[in-house]
Structure 1
Amino acid sequence: MPIRIRTGALAGIAGQAVSVEVVINRGLPGYHLVGLPGAEVRESRERVLAALRHCGAKVPPGRITVNLAPAGIRKSGASFDLAIAVGIAAAAEGWSADGATSGRLRAVFFGELSLFGEVRSVRGLLPLLLDVGRPSAGARTCAVVPAAQGAEAALAPGLRVVPVRDLREALDWCRAGREPDPVPARATPTGAGDNGAIVAAAHAACCEIGRLTGQELARKAAVVAATGRHNLLLVGPPGAGKTRLCRLLADLQPPLTPEEAIAVTRIQSAAGLLSASACATRRPFRAPHHTVTAAGLVGGGPGLRPGEATLAHGGLLFLDELAEFQPAVLDVLRQPLQDGHVTVSRGPGQRRFPAAFQLLAASNPCRCGHFGSRTRTCRCAPRDRSRYLSRVPGPLLDRIEVFAAMAEWKGSFTPGAPPPVGGGWRTSPQVADLESARARLTAWARTGGAPAASGADRFLDHARGAFGLSLRAVVRCRQVAATVAALDECTHVEPEHIQEALEFRREATVTPET
């Protein structure tokens, strides 16, 4: 009799429902797999049959036909192995279409099989369970998954997870409802358990930023960018500390909310980057090399897989040596920086990936890196200097709110030395300063934005004409001023906050501090 087993296919970072339909007819022995299978799925034939024989399951000497429905979408990956094996065993042994066995066959099955019947982990289990295993009204879906991914599967709400180590355990559960032996549970952090480590890292980052004497503008820019999640560009000679300062911002990020943690975990699971803790607890930090392609940055390629912009969703995307990236590659960041998502099309397929990240970038002022240096001579011609940073598209620069030039290092940083005491967040930033400012920004956002004191908006309008700011730049400058006001614990945005925000504009940043 025909058997239908539920499973799913991974499409980008989403899951699509797939039914494995199995029928065994009389005739010459054979195994036929239809339904637009990819190369990995076609190769499942040998894995599935060997695993069934090793587990003692009956493999009939008939014509086995396996259909993966719907036939209009391409199936790739090895996650179909377990569902196909269970379907063949059910058809061969004539499992009843009613009763308890039928109810268990309505579960969803995911797992790759070894030749010995071991159930191995699969990429993208969480998005598959969230989208395919969603319980129907009044029913609770069971999910039979690899034992090694039991903690990951437990993140999907409303599912009863049945973790199995091998095919024999899965078949025993389907035949008689026999529960597998308990699997030692891995920790599934909810965020609270890691808060201590996150706070400790933030305190260490604040201390290190406070020790960067001689880089006052860059230090203020880093604190403002970390507090308000503003995009940041640092320009300075080699060894000035641009890369280190940007990496410190990863430790100043607030913890993920439960909703953000699930979204980040879904993306990491689909990309095969999920850590052993099963649930993301820290905001991602991605730093692609400057040779990355457009598809690698925003997604694409076979199967329309997510790119670095999506992998940085909810966290930081760091582009070191910004001017070395191809201009056409940088251009593709316009949409995600503006909309928080990216739409990728390839042939008849189209995917929309989340990409709400904070952009951090660092660059030398010229090709040799020594323009503006007091101790090194710049070897670049004036025309080459102007051409170097002009490789970065203007529309991308217009989406960066905070710019800062850094001077060459003069030995003012001493590892382990105590940071300066006093002076507020501009001199010795504290974690409490950032947390208090973020709370104030959140409260202002609920009421339509930060209130402005008399004269602040007039001052900004005057600066718009003086610097030739675009409308987008004016809006973002106002947002940076609100962050500065929140750090100063003010109730309104004052003209001096606008003035300080204008210090971070690229129109006011010409050469490194000296």
Structure 2
Amino acid sequence: MARVATGVLDGIDGVVVTAEIDITRGMPGFHLVGLPGAEVRESRERVLSALRHSGRTVPLGRITVNLAPAGLRKSGAASDLAIALGILAAGKQVRLGPSRRTGAAFIGELSLFGEVRPVRGLLALVLALRDQGVMTIVVPRAQAAEARLAAGTEVVGVRDLAQAAAWWEGGPAPAGGRHPVAATEPAEPSQPLWPDLQGQPDVRRAAMLAVAGRHHCLLVGPPGTGKTRLARSLARLGRPLTPAEALEVTRIHGAAGGRPTTGLVRSRPFRAPHHTVTRAGLVGGGAPLRPGEVTLAHRGLLFLDEVTEFAPQVLDSLREPLGDGTVAVARGGGARLYPADFQLVAAMNPCRCGHLGSGTVPCTCTPAEIQRFRARLSGPLLDRIDLFVEVGAWDGAFVGAAAVAVPGPDPVAAGPDWRVRPCRADLERAWRARAEGPDPRARLEQAGADLLETSRRTLGLSLRGMERCLAVAATAADLDGAAAIGEHHVREALAYRREAVGL
């Protein structure tokens, strides 16, 4: 009888699993219990072949492997290495070394020839084991740097089953398998931030508000006016991730399998799903339950280009995560609560033909067509959007000296480095004020409160709309370095409401 700690993925979270192995007399066989999924059931062939090719003898008798807890459905191949070592221990083919090694956990998929292969969601598994008090963890050598992102753990990277068994018996740690390595994602190269928005200070001001306050925004304008490029710029300009946020984002993306996690993710996620995405693809679902785009955009930005082309029922599924920062997904008897704290940026044309209000190309849509086109966005969804930004035709030069600098003052573009990181000092001040400042209602001047109350009656603002308007006004005050929220800040926030732009 032997017990070996390992882990499996449950959605985007790691779960500690104990592989219990018992070898008894009887007809030779390999029996796996504990709600194993298809990948886990197939581990029988991988484990037995890996044992033979590693110079070990497969014990004769009835081999029973139980993956506890039995009530959790297991998926993935991360428990292969633990099962193989448990069979060796139960068959008395290994003599266990120091006590700290007997309590180690083993994670890795085995090839038929005994190599230990990388697994999906390793960081989530290591964090789960650490939280349960397992501090020594053996992982695939190719993923040792990722595992070391979990501070406080002793990570041993192994190349194959034979190496793992030798270490478990008390042998030396594999070369490069124990000393910490500082692993981070390569830095993103500097890029021009708003090269196609020269001459549009109002749009850049709205973008600054969106970045400083992480406000949800809808960009409305004719085709080719830079809406998509502006949205991508917002993701680059956002506040850097804190170490805890970076670890969380790395864990989520590693578990989802959407990107190789060679190091700590330092940039905020940017997700731009196609308009044909399903509800399950956007908010999560499927069998087994998988996270959706809103979870992959956690701590980052979710961009919906041509938002009116999305199915209305898919868009309405965003209402819960926009309000709560989490999304509850239930499918086939299973339920999960996934994180979904993202900033929504959507873009749309003003009408079906795209030329309403352009001033250059006449609109060919009838009033009824315009109304049907805009009705694809429901009122409750629009009420959760803070900034409605009208993006007009580009007013700069495309080539030549005029494309480098636009004459005239532009307060938003102040500073020599505005193309790469405009007004970084203002943003840093606004981020600090947002994190440490008092309730915006305590900062609101009486003139601003009167204007907000008057606008509630004239524009028909809901309670949520008033709260969001006050939040935008507070961000405007923070960008200006003002301690109080004045009437002009409230007026600026009201100018970005959907009631003011006719949506």
Give the TM interval when normalised to the shorter protein: over 0.9
User: Counterpart of 2:475 in structure 1: which amino acid?
Assistant: T
Which of 158, 161, 166 aligns to 2:160? It is 166
Which of 103, 107, 110 aligns to 2:107? It is 110
- Output one character per residue of 1:143-194: Cα deviation in whole Å (capped at 9) or x when no partner: 0101111111112233211111111110101122431122598964569x84
Aligned mates of 2:470, 2:440 — CA distance in 1:
13
Give 5+ residue unaligned stretches, structure 1.
Answer: none
- Does structure 2 retain, via aligned residues, the 8 Å contact 1:38–1:76? yes
| Alignment partner of 1:474 is 2:466 | yes
Which residue number in structure 1 is paired with residue 213 of structure 2? 228
Task: Call closer, same or farther: CA 1:420–1:151 in 2, change over 3 Å.
Answer: farther
The alpha-carbon deviation at position 413 of structure 1 amounts to 5.0
Which residue number in structure 1 is paired with residue 59 of structure 2? 60
SS at match of 2:502: coil
Which of 426, 430, 433 aligns to 1:437? It is 430
- Does structure 2 retain, via aligned residues, the 8 Å contact 1:217–1:405? no
- Does structure 1 retain, via aligned residues, the 8 Å contact 2:216–2:343? yes
- Residue pairs, 1:340-489, within 5 angstroms: 340-409=325-394, 412-414=397-399, 417-418=404-405, 422-425=409-412, 429-445=422-438, 451-489=443-481
- Residue pairs, 1:175-194, within 5 angstroms: 175-183=169-177, 188-189=182-183, 194=187
Task: Call closer, same or farther: CA 1:422–1:436 in 2, change over 3 Å.
Answer: farther
Deviates more, 1:118-127 or 1:59-68: 59-68
User: Counterpart of 1:126 in structure 2: which amino acid?
Assistant: L
SS at match of 1:100: coil
Tell me the TM-score normalised to structure 2 length: 0.92
Aligned mates of 1:221, 1:82 — CA distance in 2:
53
SS at match of 1:21: strand
Task: Call closer, same or farther: CA 1:276–1:311 in 2, change over 3 Å.
Answer: closer
The percent of aligned pairs where both chains have the same amino acid is 53
| Alignment partner of 1:323 is 2:308 | yes
The alpha-carbon deviation at position 107 of structure 1 amounts to 1.1
Which residue number in structure 2 is paired with residue 208 of structure 1? 195
Aligned mates of 1:86, 1:421 — CA distance in 2:
72
Deviates more, 1:297-306 or 1:18-27: 18-27
- Does structure 2 retain, via aligned residues, the 8 Å contact 1:238–1:408? no
- Residue pairs, 1:195-344, within 5 angstroms: 200-201=190-191, 204-205=192-193, 208=195, 211-213=197-199, 215-344=200-329
Which residue number in structure 1 is paired with residue 129 of structure 2? 132
Deviates more, 1:281-290 or 1:365-374: 365-374
- Does structure 2 retain, via aligned residues, the 8 Å contact 1:134–1:159? no
The alpha-carbon deviation at position 379 of structure 1 amounts to 2.7
Aligned mates of 2:456, 2:368 — CA distance in 1:
28
SS at match of 1:133: helix
- Does structure 2 retain, via aligned residues, the 8 Å contact 1:218–1:234? no
SS at match of 1:455: helix
- Does structure 1 retain, via aligned residues, the 8 Å contact 2:198–2:396? no
Task: Call closer, same or farther: CA 1:373–1:184 in 2, change over 3 Å.
Answer: farther
Tell me the TM-score normalised to structure 1 length: 0.91
The alpha-carbon deviation at position 452 of structure 1 amounts to 1.8
Which residue number in structure 1 is paired with residue 2 of structure 2? 3
The alpha-carbon deviation at position 438 of structure 1 amounts to 2.1
Give 5+ residue unaligned stretches, structure 2.
Answer: none
Aligned mates of 2:479, 2:65 — CA distance in 1:
63
Aligned mates of 1:103, 1:486 — CA distance in 2:
53
Aligned mates of 1:276, 1:179 — CA distance in 2:
24
Task: Call closer, same or farther: CA 1:405–1:431 in 2, change over 3 Å.
Answer: same
- Does structure 2 retain, via aligned residues, the 8 Å contact 1:336–1:342? yes
Which residue number in structure 1 is paired with residue 69 of structure 2? 70
Aligned mates of 1:358, 1:82 — CA distance in 2:
40
Which residue number in structure 1 is paired with residue 83 of structure 2? 84
Deviates more, 1:84-93 or 1:228-237: 84-93
Aligned mates of 2:493, 2:342 — CA distance in 1:
21
Task: Call closer, same or farther: CA 1:452–1:410 in 2, change over 3 Å.
Answer: closer
- Does structure 2 retain, via aligned residues, the 8 Å contact 1:58–1:92? no
- Output one character per residue of 1:257-306: Cα deviation in whole Å (capped at 9) or x when no partner: 01111111111111113445421101101001111111111111112111
Aligned mates of 2:117, 2:180 — CA distance in 1:
16
Aligned mates of 2:486, 2:440 — CA distance in 1:
17
SS at match of 2:435: helix
- Does structure 2 retain, via aligned residues, the 8 Å contact 1:95–1:101? no
Aligned mates of 1:336, 1:88 — CA distance in 2:
45
Deviates more, 1:233-242 or 1:413-422: 413-422
User: Counterpart of 1:509 in structure 2: which amino acid?
Assistant: V
Which residue number in structure 2 is paired with residue 151 of structure 1? 145
User: Counterpart of 2:195 in structure 1: which amino acid?
Assistant: E
Deviates more, 1:306-315 or 1:372-381: 372-381
Aligned mates of 1:494, 1:287 — CA distance in 2:
36
| Alignment partner of 1:15 is 2:9 | no
Task: Call closer, same or farther: CA 1:390–1:217 in 2, change over 3 Å.
Answer: farther
Deviates more, 1:385-394 or 1:267-276: 267-276
- Does structure 2 retain, via aligned residues, the 8 Å contact 1:5–1:108? yes
Which residue number in structure 2 is paired with residue 505 of structure 1? 497
The alpha-carbon deviation at position 493 of structure 1 amounts to 0.9
User: Counterpart of 2:67 in structure 1: which amino acid?
Assistant: L
Task: Call closer, same or farther: CA 1:449–1:85 in 2, change over 3 Å.
Answer: farther
Deviates more, 1:217-226 or 1:235-244: 217-226
The alpha-carbon deviation at position 376 of structure 1 amounts to 2.0
Aligned mates of 1:145, 1:420 — CA distance in 2:
59
User: Counterpart of 1:443 in structure 2: which amino acid?
Assistant: E
| Alignment partner of 1:39 is 2:24 | no
SS at match of 1:481: helix
